[in-house]
Amino acid sequence: MPYYCTVPRCTSMAGKAKNVSFHQFPRDEELAKLWNKILKRGKPYTKYSKVCSLHFKPEDYTITSVGKNKGQWRTLRKDAIPSQNLPSDSPVPYQSHRNTGSWHSDNTPPSIIDPQVHQQMAQAIYLQTMLAIQASGSVEGINSSIGKMLCICF
Residue 69 pLDDT grade (very low, low, confident, very high; cuts 50, 70, 90) = low
In degrees and rounded to multiples of 5, residue 73 shows phi and psi of: -145, 165
Which is more confident, 105 or 83?
83
Q: What is the pLDDT of residue 30?
A: 92
**pLDDT at res. 93:** 53
pLDDT at residue 145 above 60?
no
Cα of first residue to Cα of last residue in the chain, in angstroms, is: 48
**pTM of the predicted protein model:** 0.54
Q: Burial of 137 by CB count in 10 Å (0-12 exposed, 13-18 middle, 19+ buried)? A: exposed
Domain ranges of the chain: 1-86, 115-153
DSSP state of 129: H
Asked if residue 142 lies in contact with residue 133, where contact means CB atoms within 8 angstroms, the answer is: yes
Rounded average pLDDT over 63-91: 80
pLDDT on residue 105: 45
Which of 83-87, 100-104, 111-115 is the least confident region?
100-104
**pLDDT-derived band at 73, boundaries 50, 70, 90:** confident
Q: What confidence score (pLDDT) does residue 22 get? A: 92
Percent of the chain residues topping a pLDDT of 90 = 29
Q: Tens digit of pLDDT for each residue in 126-143? A: 777 777 777 777 555 445
User: What is the residue-averaged pLDDT of the chain?
Assistant: 74
How many CB atoms lie under 10 A from the CB of residue 14? 15
